[in-house]
Chain A
Amino acid sequence: MTVETVRDDVVRVLRASGELDAAVAPPLLDQVGDWVRGARAVVLDLADVAFFDSSGVRLVDRFSRECGRAGASLRVVAPPGGVARQVLEIVGMAGPLVDDDLDAAVAALSA
């Protein structure tokens, strides 16, 4: 599981890859504050995530909270048919937060 900043201008894009599960998620939670600090708009790109469960939901939750605290906007990229999208839909978080791809997310933040 890695999370890296792939773009940081008007929008900061953080791309997660690998498997996001209960074994790896907890230490990531504490880094969310650092990852969003100073950003005006944040995209969490989960398109490359191979596995995603309630731990991932928790991570998204934490992003949402830290962004709210920092006054930053947040969009999550989770392509339809992918595991992250599936899980986020199950827990009812897909509608207000999730975009199908990065372009859509950036566009939404730039609007």
Chain B
Amino acid sequence: MSAGWDAVPAGLLTLDRDGTLTEANATFLSWVGRPREDVVGRVRLSELLSVGGRIYWETHLGPLLLVERRLDEVAVELRGVDERLPVLLTAVAEDDGTVHVVLSSARERSRYERELRAARESAERSAAQVEALQLVTAALSRAVGVSAVAQALLDAAVRTLGASAAALWLPDGTGALQPHGARGELSAELPRAAAVLHERTAVELDGRVVVPLHGSNHLRGVLIATPRSEAGSDPLDVEVLTAVGQQAGLALDRAGLYEQNADVARELQHSLLAVDPPADPRFTVAAAYRPGVEALEVGGDWYDVFLADTGLLSVVVGDVVGRGLGAASAMGQLRSAVRAVSGPRTGPAALLTHLDRFVGQVEAAGMATLAYAELDLDSGEVTYACAGHPPPLLVRATGAAALLWEGRSTPLGAFASPGDRHEATLQLAAGDRLLLYTDGLIERRDRSLDDGLELLRATAAELAGLPIADAVRELTTRLLQDEVGRDDVCVLLVGWDSTGFERHVSADLTGLSRMRHDLAGWLEDSGVDSRTGRDVVLATSEAVANAAEHGSDRSPDRHVRVRARLERHRGSSRGDAGGDGDPGSDGGTVVVEVHDGGRWRTPTASPERGRGLQIMGALVDDVVVESADGTTVVLRRSLPGVER
């Protein structure tokens, strides 16, 4: 054997057929701590193994070596000088039974493997850190609004970052930190040392980790995390918490800004939707606005009701695509534009053409739809147009309901050319209603638009008999009951009621005769007998002349408003009175209100005026003068009851 044989840093052996050592190098002899003469030719390899190793050798390795002729890196233990020595055994058997054995020390390999394992664990830990950070970042960016960010951060601290408890402080209006929320049991107080709060990194303090949440300019809050106390728990990772704190600070920055905008937008929308519909006995109107369930930001749905002209009622429901401040301000501008442009000589189609030009100049109104209708309060004629908006619904007093598919054109925008805008007309009968709405009322992910429209039509038809406010409430409740996460919804229902009467007579009285004829016609249509009708018309004419003369000095710029209605006795309502619609059949009262903006003067001012009052008093049962907001003369004349 060469000197190299002894110098090899591995145990080298030669065995004979029955496993007795025939050669052993110096390395091996040093491992077992015995001189050559003690072992070579005297002991079998199995005798130098640990007890377990020997049994293993005799039952497995020896026979395997005979059959396979080799063993590769089998772990066994040598009986060393003071201790057992783990080795890896590789052996090759020759044809004559001679076996060559190489033993390498597994102690060195173990250290390597420990290091390998440590490196892998370290890599895994940093991967877990990255993953945790990603999870937290995602949760923070999903959160909308300050409260949601705070919640996401606290959840992340205990679920993802391994804290047993966490508490969050956020600055109040003055910048002073106030407890906002906590997870887990915690007796956390803010550290007295204010300096800690202004660190840029998380800091361990009294067994907790203080995490400042810095926005780009301000401290947005402080998170305090408590580590788990059970044995074997990992300590909190200050590095990860530092990174989370930075993310959370920026998220709180965004959330605060967002909430400011959302507040402004909500307020703006609120003011825009606070419509005070004009009062007129010839129509009734009810509207509902429901914000989207999950949306914090306001949407661009809006509605409006106003008089475009005397006796011409405009109703509009629109939808500006988008949310938040931009959408709210765009809808405000659009609403103003509709009011400014509409009028007796414009009409719906021309109005849309004007709005196209307007929308082209208002960036935020880039995509807007609306349904617009004008109702002639005298005749009940409706002219309407739809710009890319769901069709209005006509609900007849009879309970029939039909979608209005005419007068349609594309959404508002510069691409529409003037000739593209259409309008359509229809005639309402007394008690008929018109429903305008936004798509949130009918659009569902799980059903087709046609099905939604049909459901709306059928539901509205069923509700035709309800008072108008109840009908709107019931309609929105029924159509939105199963909906989660729905869009904003606007609903506007206007009913035309020819049984009310209203005219405005110029104080120069040029329209006085016309008013009398209209009132006489209305009374006749309402079933009032001609004798009573003549008395009421005469008394009303006196009251109007009186108001024009003495309240408005016959100025052509001022108007006297005449309203008339029928009131039922015995609590019967207009809709079901008498069954045949003849108001004279169960008595009742005609009530006429004549209003002017002037101040009431005592009747002694002139003898003619006294005569006028005398005539009025003789023709009706009751004359009452009310002096709030101008002067209103209320005339009442009971109708003769008819014996059946």
Chain A interface residues (CB < 8 Å from chain B): 19, 21-23, 51, 53-55, 57-58, 83, 86-87, 90-91
Scoring B residues 522 to 542 as 1 if CB is less than 8 Å from chain A, else 0, what string do you get? 000000000000100010011
| Nearest CB of chain B from residue A96's CB, rounded to whole Å | 17
Q: Given A54-B542, A55-B545, A23–B510 Cβ distance below 8 Å?
A: yes
- Does B615 lie within 8 Å of A23, measured CB to CB? no
Chain A residues whose C-beta falls within 8 Å of the C-beta of B512 in the assembled complex: 21-23
- Does A22 lie within 8 Å of B614, measured CB to CB? no
| Nearest CB of chain A from residue B256's CB, rounded to whole Å | 66
* Count of B interface residues, CB-CB < 8 Å: 20
Q: Given A53-B538, A53-B545, A87-B538, A23–B611 Cβ distance below 8 Å?
A: no
| Nearest CB of chain A from residue B318's CB, rounded to whole Å | 43
> CB-nearest residue of chain A relative to B610?
A54
Chain B interface residues (CB < 8 Å from chain A): 508-510, 512-513, 516, 534, 538, 541-542, 545, 548-549, 608, 611-612, 614-615, 618-619
A54 to B28, CA, bound (A): 143
Chain A residues whose C-beta falls within 8 Å of the C-beta of B508 in the assembled complex: 23
Chain A residues whose C-beta falls within 8 Å of the C-beta of B619 in the assembled complex: 90
Would you call the interface of chain B mostly helix, strand, loop, or mixed?
Answer: helix
Chain A residues whose C-beta falls within 8 Å of the C-beta of B618 in the assembled complex: 90
Chain A residues whose C-beta falls within 8 Å of the C-beta of B545 in the assembled complex: 21-23, 53-55
A53 to B549, CA, bound (A): 14
Give the residue of B510, B516, B549, B611 whose beta carbon is less than 8 angstroms from that of A91.
B611
A57 to B541, CA, bound (A): 14
- Does A58 lie within 8 Å of B541, measured CB to CB? no
A23 to B548, CA, bound (A): 10
A42 to B545, CA, bound (A): 29
Q: Given A51-B541, A58-B608, A83-B538, A22–B509 Cβ distance below 8 Å?
A: yes
A19 to B513, CA, bound (A): 8
- Does A54 lie within 8 Å of B513, measured CB to CB? no
- Does B612 lie within 8 Å of A54, measured CB to CB? yes
| Nearest CB of chain A from residue B428's CB, rounded to whole Å | 31
Give the residue of B534, B541, B608, B614 whose beta carbon is less than 8 angstroms from that of A21.
B541
A83 to B537, CA, bound (A): 11
State the 8 A-B residue pairs at the shortest beta-carbon distance, nearest first.
Answer: A22-B545, A23-B509, A54-B612, A90-B618, A54-B611, A23-B512, A90-B615, A58-B608
Chain B residues whose C-beta falls within 8 Å of the C-beta of A86 in the assembled complex: 538
Q: Given A53-B538, A53-B541, A87–B513 Cβ distance below 8 Å?
A: no
Q: Given A91-B611, A91-B614, A53–B513 Cβ distance below 8 Å?
A: no
Which of A22, A53, A57, A86 has the most B CB atoms < 10 Å from its CB? A53
- Does B534 lie within 8 Å of A83, measured CB to CB? yes
A19 to B608, CA, bound (A): 18
- Does B534 lie within 8 Å of A53, measured CB to CB? no
Chain A residues whose C-beta falls within 8 Å of the C-beta of B541 in the assembled complex: 21-22, 51, 53
**Cβ contacts A to B, 16 pairs, < 8 Å:** A19-B513, A19-B516, A21-B512, A21-B541, A23-B508, A23-B509, A23-B545, A51-B538, A51-B541, A53-B538, A53-B542, A53-B615, A54-B612, A83-B538, A91-B611, A91-B614
- Does B513 lie within 8 Å of A22, measured CB to CB? no
A30 to B595, CA, bound (A): 30
A19 to B508, CA, bound (A): 16
A58 to B606, CA, bound (A): 12
A19 to B509, CA, bound (A): 13
Q: Given A51-B516, A53-B612, A53-B615, A22–B549 Cβ distance below 8 Å?
A: yes
A19 to B611, CA, bound (A): 18
Chain B residues whose C-beta falls within 8 Å of the C-beta of A21 in the assembled complex: 509, 512-513, 516, 541, 545
A23 to B534, CA, bound (A): 18
A40 to B121, CA, bound (A): 133
Chain B residues whose C-beta falls within 8 Å of the C-beta of A83 in the assembled complex: 534, 538
Chain B residues whose C-beta falls within 8 Å of the C-beta of A22 in the assembled complex: 509, 512, 541, 545, 548-549
| Nearest CB of chain B from residue A5's CB, rounded to whole Å | 24
Chain A residues whose C-beta falls within 8 Å of the C-beta of B516 in the assembled complex: 19, 21, 51
Known: A51-B538, A54-B612, A86-B538. 12 other contacts (CB 8 A): A21-B541, A22-B512, A23-B512, A51-B541, A53-B541, A53-B542, A53-B615, A54-B542, A54-B608, A54-B611, A55-B545, A58-B611
